[in-house]
Structure 1
Amino acid sequence: MVPGFTCTQWVHNFRMSAETFKYLCDLVRPAMESQDTNYRLCVPLQKRVGVALWKLATNAEYRSIGHLFDVSRTTVWRCVKDFCDAASHLLVPAHINFPNQERLQHLAAYFQNRWGVPQCVGALDGTHIPILAPQDFHCDYFNRKGWHSIILQGVVDGKGLFWNAYAGMPGSMHDARVLRLSTLWELADRGCLFPACTRDIGGVNVGYYILGDSAYPLQKWLLKPFPDTGHLTAEQQVYNRKTSRARVVVENAFGRLKGRWRCLLKRNDSDISLVKSMVVVCCALHHLCESHGDYSDQWDTPAAAADQPAEALAPGADEDGRTSERL
């Protein structure tokens, strides 16, 4: 049935157009293509990628996807794992990387033209990815909202495209602690995050910086709102208002990311190591699909809903409420 899909059906079912799907298959072909043997015919590459995308897009249980694609439950899991491994090596580095000098200039210009905040090159925030309770240290993954999760920390540009993604920290961990454990903090600590390129703003030499919310520590490269004590000056209120408007871009990016790839919105029944890989791969796929204009408004997820698990599954249960074996 799939080759006969219309353009709308391609985007609805695989979250991307047929052209983008073909591009993705060609990209991962070196790592995923397999050969027939004397004992078994291999699953075609396009089918393996389709199976993986179906899991990422719907978070359906492995058994249901196997029935749809006429393959075994184990084959579905293997397709998802092989695709995530291939995409981690071939897709993620191409789409999620630290911007160079030229791109930083474009990012800063876009933020200033769009929101009136000069020298800003990104917005930082974290979001929770629902998971089943891990067998080890499950209490560490129980977040303040009352469910198990891992944290995705992301930095996006003015268009909501990720240029840094760090995933896998337990849900009980504070956002500031996640930041200090990330590569972003390590580079900043070594003075290698941004090049020395400053502008005189109000008599102060300001370099490139990222905007974060009040949970993050104030740094030269990371600005946050003034604490609202009820005695803010007019200038401080204007600063808070403008930076708050600019930071909305990362919240919207998380909403679109989870709206497209429902494995990040619903409680994921995969092993936690595979979930971590899924999260970063979905960020790269988000970048790819946004760049190609593949999106449907039907996937839009409110900011509040994007940080809640869509399904409240019992530990070890699948979407139909049946007990499932963790893969």
Structure 2
Amino acid sequence: MSSDEDVAICMWYTLQNLEQNHKKKKLWIHPLNKKRITHNVILTLLCELRSDESKFKNYTRVSSVTFDFILQEIGEEIRKEDTNFRKSISPEERLLVTLSFLASGEHFQRIHYSLRLGATTAGKIVNDTCCALWKILSPQFMPLPSTDGWLNIEKEFDKFWNFPNCVGAIDGKHIAIQCPPNSGSSYYNYKGHHSIILQAVVDANAKFIFIDVGDFGRNSDGGILKESNFGKLLDNNKLLLPPPRKIHEEVEDEFPFVFVADEAYPLKKNLMKPFARKQLTNPKRIYNYRQSRARRIVECAFGILTKRFNVFENKMLVNPEKATIITQAACVLHNLIMEKEHNLTDIHNEMETTSSRVNQQDIINKPTNRRPPRDAIDIREKFMKYFNSEKGSVPWQNVYTV
């Protein structure tokens, strides 16, 4: 074979390889997803939503003004560079996709069809954007309060829920997830599904003060508290709580600043829980009512969170780590919306209409078996006596006596 023939054969093989590679590149983007590029599906949708503020808020759960604020805050964090093969998805599109996912709870496969994004791409966008939301916004909208900050929170608990020296209500919520591989029963909870736990401390206006997310669904509230960041800060006196003080000028005793919880939590000197239902006296019933009235704001916060972000209505088809990131992002967005958009009067009015109908059984959860320390018992007794005194009572509380 001549050298010319060798060259010709080599050129033929080279051309064949180039043609095959060219065909492969053409198939790199799914035909359905090409429409996002050729027709600007997401940007067209965003433009249409901006023309109708009510539809914009219904779709994203935020106003267009708040959307633009969030975009300004996290835009650079989620921006990606264009490549030689395709144009990157803009920060504006990424934020819209993420808010749509949180608001609707749609699976990524559904987003693939509705927004012309690959399911894997949609999942990565949501994960990256949620990471950015938590990283950038949590220092602004969920900072750990200073001593003065705790005092401001206490004023509102006393004003709205008639519990002086209360600085937060704490409870846990199950976040349903698919069963992680090789996890055994770790995430399987008493409700009969797999979950991670969102443990939250909430202020008097249903905003999250502190959250711990990601613990095994099988664990109890009390056990989660012990191992949580918040629980460790509480036990080690690292929360910068104000020192004990009088709660009334005519009452000599000093009272510590406390959080309120249900019976699943342990009684501590800075953590109050109701008296057990067994052998309740009228003074104990009144104390339980007063504490329940303050504690129910955390249930209200969970209710608002779930109603606003339907992703919590369904099982998240992601691993626990990604479910944790999604939950953190939704919680900090909840605080941002509450601060910038929500009418707090509506929350207080709603709680007022329901708090007068508190059933004693509603405030009882799985009790803890550990005997509480003596100082914690004494502190709860002091609150009970104050709530049953002329100085500390409220006119409607005697409805809960027998």
The TM-score, its normalising length taken from structure 2, stands at 0.71
Q: Which has the higher contact order (CA 8 A, sep 6+)?
A: 1
Q: What is the CA distance between 1:218 and its match in structure 2?
A: 0.7
- The aligned counterpart of 1:285 is 333
Out of 48, 51, 56, the position equivalent to 1:4 is 48
| Structure 2 gap segments, 5+ residues each | 1-44, 355-402
- The aligned counterpart of 1:262 is 310
Q: What is the CA distance between 1:208 and its match in structure 2?
A: 1.4
Check whether the contact 1:17–1:294 (CA below 8 A) recurs between aligned residues. Answer: no
Out of 180, 185, 190, the position equivalent to 1:134 is 180
Counting only pairs closer than 5 Å after superposition, residues 100-139 of structure 1 correspond to structure 2 as 100-139=146-185
Alpha-carbon distance between aligned partners in 2 of 1:39 and 1:231, rounded to the nearest angstrom: 72
User: What do residues 288-308 of structure 1 show as CA deviations (whole Å, max 9, x unaligned)?
Assistant: 11112259x9xx9x9xxxxxx
Counting only pairs closer than 5 Å after superposition, residues 34-53 of structure 1 correspond to structure 2 as 34-53=80-99
Alpha-carbon distance between aligned partners in 2 of 1:231 and 1:256, rounded to the nearest angstrom: 32
- The aligned counterpart of 1:148 is 194
Alpha-carbon distance between aligned partners in 2 of 1:231 and 1:61, rounded to the nearest angstrom: 48
- The aligned counterpart of 1:208 is 257
SS in 1 for 2:101: helix
* Superposed structure 1 runs of 4+ greater than 3 Å apart: none
Alpha-carbon distance between aligned partners in 2 of 1:150 and 1:143, rounded to the nearest angstrom: 9
Alpha-carbon distance between aligned partners in 2 of 1:231 and 1:111, rounded to the nearest angstrom: 25
- The aligned counterpart of 2:268 is 219
Q: What is the CA distance between 1:94 and its match in structure 2?
A: 2.0
- The aligned counterpart of 1:32 is 78
- The aligned counterpart of 2:364 is none
Letter in 2 for 1:2: L
Check whether the contact 1:15–1:294 (CA below 8 A) recurs between aligned residues. Answer: no
Q: What is the CA distance between 1:207 and its match in structure 2?
A: 2.0
Range with greater deviation from structure 2 (270-279 or 186-195)? 186-195
What value does the CA root-mean-square deviation take over the aligned residues?
1.8
Check whether the contact 2:108–2:122 (CA below 8 A) recurs between aligned residues. Answer: yes
User: What do residues 75-120 of structure 1 show as CA deviations (whole Å, max 9, x unaligned)?
Assistant: 1011101101211211122222221122211111111111211010
Asked if 1:69 is matched to 2:69, the reply is no
Alpha-carbon distance between aligned partners in 2 of 1:85 and 1:116, rounded to the nearest angstrom: 38
Letter in 2 for 1:193: L
- The aligned counterpart of 1:228 is 277
Alpha-carbon distance between aligned partners in 2 of 1:134 and 1:203, rounded to the nearest angstrom: 55
Alpha-carbon distance between aligned partners in 2 of 1:217 and 1:128, rounded to the nearest angstrom: 19
- The aligned counterpart of 2:291 is 243
Asked if 1:271 is matched to 2:315, the reply is no
SS in 1 for 2:185: helix
Alpha-carbon distance between aligned partners in 1 of 2:55 and 2:66, rounded to the nearest angstrom: 14
Larger radius of gyration: 2
Alpha-carbon distance between aligned partners in 2 of 1:262 and 1:138, rounded to the nearest angstrom: 28
Alpha-carbon distance between aligned partners in 2 of 1:204 and 1:176, rounded to the nearest angstrom: 29
Check whether the contact 1:261–1:282 (CA below 8 A) recurs between aligned residues. Answer: yes
Alpha-carbon distance between aligned partners in 2 of 1:285 and 1:254, rounded to the nearest angstrom: 13
Q: Number of aligned residue pairs: give it.
A: 297
- The aligned counterpart of 1:252 is 300
Q: What is the CA distance between 1:184 and its match in structure 2?
A: 1.1
Check whether the contact 1:194–1:208 (CA below 8 A) recurs between aligned residues. Answer: no
- The aligned counterpart of 1:325 is none
Alpha-carbon distance between aligned partners in 2 of 1:125 and 1:231, rounded to the nearest angstrom: 23
Range with greater deviation from structure 2 (93-102 or 25-34)? 93-102
Alpha-carbon distance between aligned partners in 1 of 2:213 and 2:96, rounded to the nearest angstrom: 24
Letter in 2 for 1:223: M
- The aligned counterpart of 2:385 is none
